[in-house]
Amino acid sequence: MFDKKTKLFFILGGFFIANAIIAEMIGGKIFSLEETLGLQATYFSLFCENNLSFNLTAGVLLWPVVFIMTDIINEYYGMKGVKFLSYLSVALISFAFIIIYGAIQLTPATWWQDTYKAQGVPNAQLAFKVIMGQGLWIIIGSLVAFLLGQILDVLVFHKIKKATGDKMVWLRATGSTLVSQAVDSFVVLFIAFYIGQNWTFAQVFAIASVNYVYKFIVAIGLTPLIYLGHKLIDKFLGKEEANRMKKLAVNI
C-alpha cells in the first residue's frame, strides 16, 4: 500500500511524536540522578545558588532521543518533514493536556477515591490531579521551548550539512542537538518558573545549567546511535534511494 519511504516516515514520525508526548506526561516527576545510579548525591554551588544537585525532571530521559530523532528525520526528509512533525507534536501535546484537564474535572466515584489507601494514597482524585495536572506556565514553557528547540535544531543542522556535505555526520547531528537543547533547557525554566512562579534569574540560570550539562553528556553519548540509525535506514531503503533522499532533503 505504501512505499518504503512513506513507511519509514510513519515509523520515524510515530516514534518521534510518541516520545515527545510521553516526555511531557512524565515531566512532573523530579528524580535524583546520582541516587538512581546508586551513588551518593553531590551538592555544589553555581551562580551563587547553593545546594544544587543533579535533580532532574523525568522528561530529560526522552528529550535527547527526540532531538536525535529530529536529526535522523532531517537527514532524509529535510526541514519540511521535521517542521511538520514538530507542529503536529505541539498540537497533539496540547490536545492531550486539554483531555487530561477535562478528566481532572470529572466528578470521581466515591468508592474510587479510597481505592488506593492500602498503597498509601488516601485520596485518588487528589493524587490524579496533582500528578497529571501540570501548571499552565509549565505547559506553555515546555511547548514554546520544544518548538523553538526544534526550529533551531533544523536550521543549525542544515547550516552544518551545507558546509560539510555528506561528511561529518556526528558534527551536524550532535552540534545541532547541543545548540537546540541549550535553548530548550533555558526557555522552559524561564517561562515556567521565572515568569510563572517568580523564581530569581539566578535560580533559573543555575538549574537550567545543571539540566543542560546532563543533556550535553547524554547527547554526546548517544551520537553512535545516529550512525546506527543511518546504517539501518540505508539498508531498509537501499543505498541508492537513501542517497537520493539525502540529496533532496538539503533543499526541502
Instruction: Please give the chain's pLDDT, 252 residues, in tens.
Output: 788 999 999 999 999 999 989 988 887 788 888 889 888 888 888 777 777 788 888 888 887 778 778 888 998 998 899 999 999 999 999 999 899 999 999 999 999 999 999 999 999 999 998 888 877 788 888 889 889 988 888 888 888 888 887 778 788 888 888 888 888 888 888 888 888 777 888 888 888 888 888 888 888 888 888 888 889 999 999 989 988 998 888 776
**CA 245 – CA 74 distance, rounded (Å):** 10
Query: Whole-model pTM?
Result: 0.85
Q: Grid cell 526528509 — which residue?
A: 77
Contact 65, 19 (CB under 8 A): yes
Contact 144, 184 (CB under 8 A): no
Flag whether 120 is in a domain. yes
User: How many independent structural domains does the chain possess?
Assistant: 1
**CA 251 – CA 228 distance, rounded (Å):** 24
What is the extent of the structural domain holding 132?
Answer: 4-23+58-249
Flag whether 93 is in a domain. yes
Flag whether 51 is in a domain. no
Flag whether 217 is in a domain. yes
Flag whether 235 is in a domain. yes
Flag whether 196 is in a domain. yes
Flag whether 204 is in a domain. yes
